[in-house]
Chain A
Amino acid sequence: MKGIVKRFPGVLANDHVDLFVEKGEIHAIVGENGAGKTTLMKQLYGLLKPDEGEIYINGKRVEFSGPADAIKNGIGMVHQHFMLVDNLTAYENVIIGMEPRKGILLDRKKARKEVKKLSEEYGLTIDVDMKIEDMPVGLQQRVEIIKTLYRGAEILILDEPTAVLTPQETEELFEVLRRLKKSGKTIIFISHKLNEVMEISDRITVMRQGRVTGNLITSQTTPQEIARLMVGREVVLTVEKKPKEAGETLLKIEDLWVKDNRKLDVVKGVSFEVKRGEIVGIAGVAGNGQSELVEAITGLRRAERGRVLFRGEDITGYDPKRLRDLGMFHVPEDRLKRGLIVDFPAYFNTILGRHMIEPFVKSGFLNMKEIKRFSKQLFEKFDIRPRNIELLAGSFSGGNQQKIIVAREMSFSPELLVVAQPTRGLDVGAIEFIHKTLVSMRDAGVGILLISMELDEIFSLSDRILVMYEGQIMGEVRPEKTTPEEVGLMMAGKRLEEIRR
């Protein structure tokens, strides 16, 4: 890809990007969130058209008017958010758009046979008749890869493939990638996880803010060098944290059972405590019940069995308003869905959750003066940009949106703060800020329950780590007394006692 330029309203996503990938290699594209990696690959796959620049495949110039063209040229893409139809089976998903036919009929027998063959050939074992919604994430990803192979992909693009995998599943994926490489396939691997990139790739292209900042040969570089090219300065990969004595128990979860939207048990008998002045981190890959656990604790979902106690009081089933009255606040994992109302101006978002109390409300009427004064103050204190409280929440960047939410939840002097995926999709500057803020709250005596899929974050922030797998706690460890490998094993389903035997 030569000289690729891609503009979106307000942002130059790709600024004269050059990318050279050799046949039969595993090439990694590395960068932070928002660097332009996915945008670049979407153009290679025909989902977007470059504003300027050219694309050459095997020396031939190509122009794609849609994914169909890319597919014809042997390019396949596995997206970060899977493109699968949940209520169809695996083989049905694979054949969409290229269905084997018997006259006007769908030839299901042939389809199943071909998909099975492909899955066995590359070590991507799956049950072709299983519906996607019944499959764990690791298997769903295999279906995605088979989809590309079914269409004769010689070049595979994988966008953040390990974001949803346990360390063990990641190893399995790497095995598959090595096998694919051996059979002559070329793989482009987008990631922001440096250790994985070091392990699997042959060469690396680093991007930052839409430009290429470096071309490296993996065997001749280090994570530090990559990180520096990614961020533009020396990166401190962990945050400063002084040890602290934890205080009284604030939150006690007793044998909690919660069902998900499909009426299946997804939290199965979880028990733990969070004390004053400590950060308890729950690690685990997405989909193991963490979201539902958080929702049950914060009043957004019913618990089937068990109790949630706050400072000794049984608060199971309390609604969010009551919880806030008691001093429990929540930074939700989906800031656009739960945390903000994007069509409301910022000054209405800063009071969300406490909009019904004085001084914001007096005898049913909103006190606009007080609301705006409060909001302006919040914006100043947390350096939220642009410094305009009249702007609709939707017009702020992801980082600033998250800041608004964190600022809001903090400003009412919480006793306990539940924080889920707080730095998802944020750039390093915002991540540093949020981490510093959480540590300072913990130092001031707030109890924090942190749920995160980023192991680095869990390790650097938590005083105690719990690991969740399939709705249960696999073990509790202190970060200084364990290793990422041990935690990874727990994330994959091994209990702590088993590992330490």
Chain B
Amino acid sequence: MKILEVLWNIFSNPLFYKLTLTASTPLLFASLGGVFSEVTGVVNIALEGIMLLGAFSSVVITYYTGNVWLGFLLSIPIGIGFSWFHAWASIKWRGNQIVSATALILVAQGLTGFLMEPIFGQPGQTPYVGRIEEITLPGISSIPFIGEAIGTISPIVLIAFAMVFFAWFLIYKTPLGLRMRAVGENPEAADTLGVDVFKIRYFGVLMSGALASMGGAFLSIGEVGNFRELMTGGRGFIALAAMILGNWNPIGAMWACLMFGMSEALANQLQSSPILNVPATAKPLFNLFPFVVTLVVVAGLIGRTRPPAADGVPYEKEE
């Protein structure tokens, strides 16, 4: 019965819900990025690498400019530029999209580790450079329970959820979205109607670069205020699982990310629970949790969800 008591304590704590939202945010950005890319038919598993780069570049920019918002905003074009390589290799050169993405993850990991000493003078992690402060939402913060949960929250979290709406609107309510979906399902059909398949796919991939970068930036200057080597810790892949689980739909991805965020928050709270005495050595077992969930999700639901038909297939124009 101890476990029930522990769970009740956790679920009735408004902090738990705030933790869920904060944990979901980087996943949400990356997952939406994945949706943008794959809806147009380009598989982008490099989200992990783009996130890492976004986390690093936002810290570096903040370090040099002293302004956290500049750090956040200027990391976006860097993410776009980095994802451009994946777009270039996959779209123009018809390369193997999985391998090209893996390459970019390695380059991101290498580059971020490599530049730490030259820039910051120390390996492993950077000094604290500042973080985006939470804001208090007027009106909401006075509501009991909900106010404690989300009354004071990072503005980036709000931006993330706004992005969900933006993505949904763009993909399902605008002509551009219709063309994106056509390109992802049957690029030849779209091509015969005069739609520029390549341009649309570039758009999808570059958007994924922008979004994933924001997700990474949140991890560093949105939460802890510095950068640690490999700090994305697999989130880019969890975001992919969320995208699959959400059936390549922004709203679906949102729910999936919330679920993953909740499992991370749960693992976190269980570890630090005063009632459940968890030995320090067992802590790694709790970190396992989101990955096992991802595994189960990816395994269990593949049959029931459906990727865009031309996903991952390079488009060859007859010349």
Whether B179 contacts A96 by the Cβ 8 Å rule is: yes
CA distance A86 to B181 in the complex (A): 11
Q: Which of A49, A82, A97 meets B193, CB within 8 Å? A: A97
Whether B181 contacts A88 by the Cβ 8 Å rule is: yes
Render A82-96 as a binary contact track against B, CB cut-off 8 A, 1 for contact: 111111100011011
Q: Separation in Å of the B39 CB from the closest CB of chain A?
A: 12
**B195: which A residues are within 8 A, CB to CB?**
96-97
CA distance A66 to B198 in the complex (A): 13
Whether A67 contacts B194 by the Cβ 8 Å rule is: yes
Q: Separation in Å of the B140 CB from the closest CB of chain A?
A: 30
Q: Separation in Å of the B217 CB from the closest CB of chain A?
A: 28
Whether B194 contacts A77 by the Cβ 8 Å rule is: no
Whether B194 contacts A71 by the Cβ 8 Å rule is: yes
Whether A96 contacts B173 by the Cβ 8 Å rule is: no
CA distance A95 to B177 in the complex (A): 13
Segment 126-178 of B: residues with Cβ below 8 Å from A: 173-175, 177-178
Whether A68 contacts B173 by the Cβ 8 Å rule is: no
CA distance A67 to B191 in the complex (A): 8
Render B265-288 as a binary contact track against A, CB cut-off 8 A, 1 for contact: 000000000000000000000000
Q: Separation in Å of the B177 CB from the closest CB of chain A?
A: 8
Known: A79-B192, A106-B173. A84 touches B178 (CB 8 A): no
State whether the Cβ of B106 lies closer than 8 Å to any Cβ in chain A. Answer: no
State whether the Cβ of A22 lies closer than 8 Å to any Cβ in chain B. Answer: no
CA distance A105 to B173 in the complex (A): 6
State whether the Cβ of B223 lies closer than 8 Å to any Cβ in chain A. Answer: no
Known: A88-B181, A92-B178, A95-B178. A68 touches B194 (CB 8 A): yes
CA distance A45 to B232 in the complex (A): 49
Segment 52-75 of A: residues with Cβ below 8 Å from B: 66-68, 71
Whether A83 contacts B186 by the Cβ 8 Å rule is: yes
Closest to B190 in A: A96
Known: A47-B192, A67-B194, A105-B173. A86 touches B179 (CB 8 A): no
Render B194-215 as a binary contact track against A, CB cut-off 8 A, 1 for contact: 1100000000000000000000
Count residues of B near A (Cβ-Cβ below 8 Å): 22
**A311: which B residues are within 8 A, CB to CB?**
none
State whether the Cβ of A104 lies closer than 8 Å to any Cβ in chain B. Answer: yes
Whether A88 contacts B182 by the Cβ 8 Å rule is: yes
CA distance A67 to B182 in the complex (A): 16
Interface centre among B178, B191, B192, B306 (most CB of A within 10 A): B192
Closest to A82 in B: B189
State whether the Cβ of A101 lies closer than 8 Å to any Cβ in chain B. Answer: yes
Whether A99 contacts B194 by the Cβ 8 Å rule is: no
Q: Which of B174, B188, B306, B309 meets A83, CB within 8 Å? A: B188
Q: Separation in Å of the B295 CB from the closest CB of chain A?
A: 26
CA distance A79 to B174 in the complex (A): 27
CA distance A101 to B177 in the complex (A): 13
**B177: which A residues are within 8 A, CB to CB?**
106
Whether B175 contacts A106 by the Cβ 8 Å rule is: yes
Q: Separation in Å of the A353 CB from the closest CB of chain B?
A: 28
State whether the Cβ of B318 lies closer than 8 Å to any Cβ in chain A. Answer: yes
Render B104-135 as a binary contact track against A, CB cut-off 8 A, 1 for contact: 00000000000000000000000000000000
**A97: which B residues are within 8 A, CB to CB?**
179, 190, 193-195
**A83: which B residues are within 8 A, CB to CB?**
186, 188-189, 192-193
The secondary structure that dominates the A interface is: loop
State whether the Cβ of B5 lies closer than 8 Å to any Cβ in chain A. Answer: no
**A92: which B residues are within 8 A, CB to CB?**
178
Whether A85 contacts B318 by the Cβ 8 Å rule is: no
**A105: which B residues are within 8 A, CB to CB?**
173-174
State whether the Cβ of A48 lies closer than 8 Å to any Cβ in chain B. Answer: yes
Closest to A8 in B: B318
State whether the Cβ of B185 lies closer than 8 Å to any Cβ in chain A. Answer: yes
Closest to B175 in A: A99
Whether B174 contacts A106 by the Cβ 8 Å rule is: yes
State whether the Cβ of A495 lies closer than 8 Å to any Cβ in chain B. Answer: no
Segment 284-319 of B: residues with Cβ below 8 Å from A: 306, 309, 318-319
**A86: which B residues are within 8 A, CB to CB?**
185-186, 309
Whether A85 contacts B194 by the Cβ 8 Å rule is: no
State whether the Cβ of A302 lies closer than 8 Å to any Cβ in chain B. Answer: no
Q: Separation in Å of the B36 CB from the closest CB of chain A?
A: 17
Closest to B170 in A: A104
Whether A84 contacts B186 by the Cβ 8 Å rule is: yes
CA distance A93 to B178 in the complex (A): 9
State whether the Cβ of A408 lies closer than 8 Å to any Cβ in chain B. Answer: no
State whether the Cβ of A208 lies closer than 8 Å to any Cβ in chain B. Answer: no
State whether the Cβ of A259 lies closer than 8 Å to any Cβ in chain B. Answer: no
**B186: which A residues are within 8 A, CB to CB?**
83-86
Q: Separation in Å of the A4 CB from the closest CB of chain B?
A: 16
Segment 238-291 of A: residues with Cβ below 8 Å from B: none
Closest to B195 in A: A97
Closest to A87 in B: B185
Known: A86-B309, A96-B179. 16 other contacts (CB 8 A): A47-B192, A48-B319, A67-B191, A77-B192, A83-B189, A84-B186, A85-B182, A85-B189, A86-B186, A88-B178, A92-B178, A93-B189, A96-B189, A97-B195, A99-B178, A104-B174
- List chain B positions with a Cβ less than 8 A from chain A: 173-175, 177-179, 181-182, 185-186, 188-195, 306, 309, 318-319
A to B CB contacts below 8 Å, 28 in the list: A45-B192, A47-B192, A47-B318, A48-B319, A67-B191, A67-B192, A71-B193, A77-B192, A83-B186, A83-B188, A83-B192, A85-B181, A85-B185, A85-B189, A86-B185, A86-B186, A86-B309, A87-B185, A88-B178, A88-B181, A88-B182, A88-B185, A92-B178, A96-B190, A96-B195, A97-B190, A101-B175, A105-B173
Enumerate the 4 nearest inter-chain pairs by beta-carbon distance, A residue then B residue, closest first.
Answer: A68-B194, A83-B189, A99-B175, A97-B193
